[in-house]
Amino acid sequence: MTRHWPSLLLVALIVALQYPLWLGKGGWLQAWEAERALDEQRALNARLEARNAALEADVKDLKTGFDAVEERARSELGLVKPGEVFVQVPRSNTR
């Protein structure tokens, strides 16, 4: 047993030095977790940027063109022009 204590001491020292690298504050595990969270945030940002671009295009259309306003009035409010006939076809519930 007395011959092996330097080897055991060396192994214990290596483990003690490796612990902060892998499990300590700012270690590899925290870095991997931070990278995963960053990837999720980037994906969310991309979805929100696409949504914002679509909303910006809608706002631009509504500010500049009468056609977009008319389309919204027809689809969302069910409005019709004078002299037009509105026909509604009920949906069939049978499948």
83 inside domain: no
* Model-wide pTM > 0.75: no
Give me the pLDDT at residue 95, please.
Answer: 59
Q: Determine the structural domain holding residue 66 and report its residue range.
A: 10-77
72 inside domain: yes
Give me the pLDDT at residue 2, please.
Answer: 67
Per-residue pLDDT of the chain (95 residues; tens, 9 = 90+): 567 888 888 888 888 887 777 777 777 888 889 999 999 999 999 999 999 999 999 888 878 878 878 887 887 887 888 888 877 788 887 65
Whole-angstrom CA distances from 66 to 5, 18, 21, 73, 77 are 87, 68, 63, 11, 16
Give me the pLDDT at residue 46, please.
Answer: 97
69 inside domain: yes
State how many domains the chain has.
1
88 inside domain: no
Integer Cα distance of 69 and 10 in angstroms: 77
